[in-house]
Chains A and B, each alone.
Chain A
């Protein structure tokens, strides 16, 4: 089994203008995600949503503190899941089910040290 991070990148602006109905749908999709992933042999170990990039602070070179996210892009890291999967195909199958209606996800294996 290998651990993967499913990193969720989305357009924040769309969340700011989403109706309560849309929000409800997204929350429901996230609640249903672990069970859906399980169907592909993928176990969700954890995950979090992040506050908007407006709340982010970046530090470069250990001292240079700036207001805002590290990279300015339209689609930003807004949350993640940590999952355990038998292989990349299974992790990608779970990644395809991961809710990200205003963007997409990146699937990255977690490094292990022996």
Chain B
């Protein structure tokens, strides 16, 4: 007998590492997402009891896959001709033969098929994100709902609608052909990046970092890296996530206050994550043209490798933003570029660059614009204008930690 808590821990670990692999392999048998999910869930439940008597298998993923596929075959036998689902579309090579169900040594890795289906461009971004969390990460509908601050019935409806569209509109379950692969991978990367940013800075609420989303997105990025080792955009995204997350422990003070990068204790940055991220950046920048993630990661690497705030190579950062804004024009990137110019060439130049964006309608209501203005005005000693800009930024910011930061800066300016 193996200890119950050790088995529970082993199953939880396998769930985290192997869920997508098990599900993707089971879909080959069921050709239906819902049935495959049920069979995979049952296999994990069975492991909780079976592993107590037989011990934790050497390859938990293979054990679970075999168990889930056996269940799937049983379900199919009982469903018989009354199979009421519209089967998923698969290429012939993806349909499981009888041998494959018994053999555990050579299970094809179908996770790329699964995530490509979750992130198909015919599904909207919110559906892509929900399906990815549910099918790739094995999160429950309730957990997915909590992550995106919507009610469980709303999220359940969203997931059901997306699954129905996959079946009815015949979205194929396959690895996209080479010609479409870059565009399709881009959609997958956008979803993983969105998961990370949602976890990294929640748009509202009290907790600055939602750990689980950040960790899930890192795991997905690592998985993509293993599945597509030669793709520079994938390397770029993983690098960006690693380099950004390396600063996690230092982003808030002991009192929960948001700390600017200027105030962060660099000795506590995760040096292993930085080394891994920096190595990936070099590879990612070989893409032609470099992906937006590669450039953002390169910017993060300049910060991460700088010994102190005062040593930051702002000219390099401003130059990287210049390339980024050309390749990927976005008002938010333009704002970051303006901020970098302010550090490279002085607060006057920064303020001018920020003010050049003041009329951009896409930035209307974006709290970081008045916050950046306020900071330049403060450094220029234009206290009254800085006060107005901080007040404006406060009105546009919902995150409690960021609000505290802005309010602190406003108070430090003294009374009007």
Contact = CB atoms under 8 A, between A and B. Distances in A.
Q: Please report whether the interface of chain B is mostly helix, strand, loop or mixed according to DSSP.
A: loop
Contacts of B176: 89
A90 B180 CA distance: 12
A2 interface: yes
Given A86-B89, A87-B171, A89-B180, 10 more contacts: A2-B170, A87-B89, A88-B120, A88-B122, A88-B170, A88-B171, A88-B172, A89-B176, A92-B122, A109-B170
Interface of A: 2, 85-89, 91-92, 108-109
12 contacts: A85-B170, A86-B89, A87-B89, A87-B170, A88-B122, A88-B169, A88-B170, A88-B171, A89-B171, A89-B176, A109-B168, A109-B170
Most buried by A among B89, B122, B169, B172: B169
Nearest to B184: A89
B169 A109 contact: yes
Interface in B98-139: 120, 122
Q: Which 3 A-B pairs have the closest CB atoms?
A: A87-B172, A87-B170, A2-B170
Q: Identify which of B122, B170, B172 gathers the most chain A CB atoms within 10 Å of its CB.
A: B170
Contacts of B168: 109
A85 B171 CA distance: 11
Residue from A2, A89, A92 with most neighbouring chain B CB atoms (10 Å): A89
Nearest to B171: A88
Contacts of B120: 88
B277 to A, nearest CB: 34
Give the most central of A88, A91, A92, A109: most B CB within 10 Å: A88
Contacts of A87: 89, 170-172
B169 A89 contact: no
A87 B122 CA distance: 12
Contacts of B180: 89
Interface in B166-220: 168-172, 176, 180
B90 to A, nearest CB: 10
Contacts of B172: 87-89
Nearest to B121: A92
Nearest to B166: A88
A6 B105 CA distance: 45
